[in-house]
Structure 1
Amino acid sequence: MPSDRQKSGEARREKILQTLSQSVGPITGRSLASEMNVSRQVIVSDINLLKAKNEPILATSQGYLYMPAHPVSRVSRLIVCRHTPDQTEEELLIIVNNGGIVKNVVIEHPVYGEMTASLMLHNQIEVKRFTAELENSESVLLSALTDGVHMHEIEAEHTAVIDRIEQELAGAGILYSE
């Protein structure tokens, strides 16, 4: 028979799942911890337990997202970009303003091979938050390791949306071509 502590942990994890699945954007561990009246570390542990039960939770730089399988109608494409760090926000805004989702960033490192970081940027607010956090931290873009060259997996409702995103990125000199 489960103890009261186990019951409260299970109830909290159910509440976390409910909160994440009803959210339209990422939720930070700090915010979940405050809502559940526990430490952030407890939330991290709960998220790990939920992931171990195959719950589709994704940890991004913006917070946690519940990512159920998308409808078949959505399409994605890997695009190659090259730009300076100052053009990062412009690049990301071109993608989200045209209806795309920036799922991740990928680089080909000469020693480590392919390195991928999840982004899951859906809108201007998330892009602005991401670039502000980058600016306020001592972090550098992954593309700094590859002379600005990187890839993004872009998701959208239709192929035409991704085509339009590529056209705008090319027009801004960001889409990479040799």
Structure 2
Amino acid sequence: MTDKKKILGENRRELILQLLKERNEPITGGELADEASVSRQVIVQDISLLKAKKVPIIATSQGYMYLQQNHQKQRFSQIVACKHTPEQTREELRLIVDHGVTVKDVFIEHPVYGDLVASIMVSNRNEVDQFLKKVEETNAPYLLQLTDGIHLHTLEADSEEKLQLAYHSLDRAGFIIQS
């Protein structure tokens, strides 16, 4: 934290929202904390309060993002069911993003907890590598490890063609679960 004056309560949450809306890439909790001259934990609490008010903020492995409601550009999405080992995650994600497709999330059906969903929000190889580095540094297990490799992704692109190309690449690599 710096010598700047702390921004309090609702004013701080307004600042957080403004900063998130201005950026198209994720902002870390540390960056937001520096801007507001508070701790990262205060930011985590503020984000939770904003989410409780239905503000469309997501936490990704790279930081927080405001989900823009962009009406100018049509987006297409598709859910794909995959199966592979944890060691094949890099290959899977790169096959997808190399076609201009964003991997929004990963989810599994857990026998006790039901659907478990985690935001990924990777759109290029650099973001894939950052995501995997964070998993490695934290020694966090992949959700697919809870379901013998079976998991689903929500994919998003600006064309159906890109989604189909990504799907076919995954299928050729043997990652798509055949019905």
TM-score norm. by structure 2 comes to: 0.88
Report deviation, 1:85.
0.9
- Whichever residue aligns with residue 165 of structure 1, its letter is A
Structure 2 unaligned runs (5+)? none
8 Å contact 2:104–2:120 — kept in the other structure? yes
| Equivalent position of 2:89 in the other structure | 88
8 Å contact 2:61–2:134 — kept in the other structure? no
Report deviation, 1:145.
1.0
Residue correspondence of structure 1 range 98-113 to structure 2 within 5 A = 98-113=99-114
Distance 1:104 1:126 in 2: 13
Residue correspondence of structure 1 range 15-164 to structure 2 within 5 A = 15-71=15-71, 73-164=74-165
SS in structure 2 at match of 1:163: helix
- Whichever residue aligns with residue 129 of structure 1, its letter is Q
Report deviation, 1:163.
0.3
SS in structure 2 at match of 1:154: strand
TM-score norm. by structure 1 comes to: 0.88
8 Å contact 2:81–2:177 — kept in the other structure? yes
Q: Which moved more, 1:55-64 or 1:99-108?
A: 55-64
8 Å contact 2:12–2:36 — kept in the other structure? yes
Aligned length: 174
Identity of aligned residues (%): 48
Distance 1:136 1:152 in 2: 23
RMSD: 2.0
Distance 1:78 1:167 in 2: 13
Distance 1:95 1:22 in 2: 27
Report deviation, 1:62.
2.2
**Alpha-carbon spacing, 1:27–1:174, altered in 2? closer, same or farther (3 Å):** same
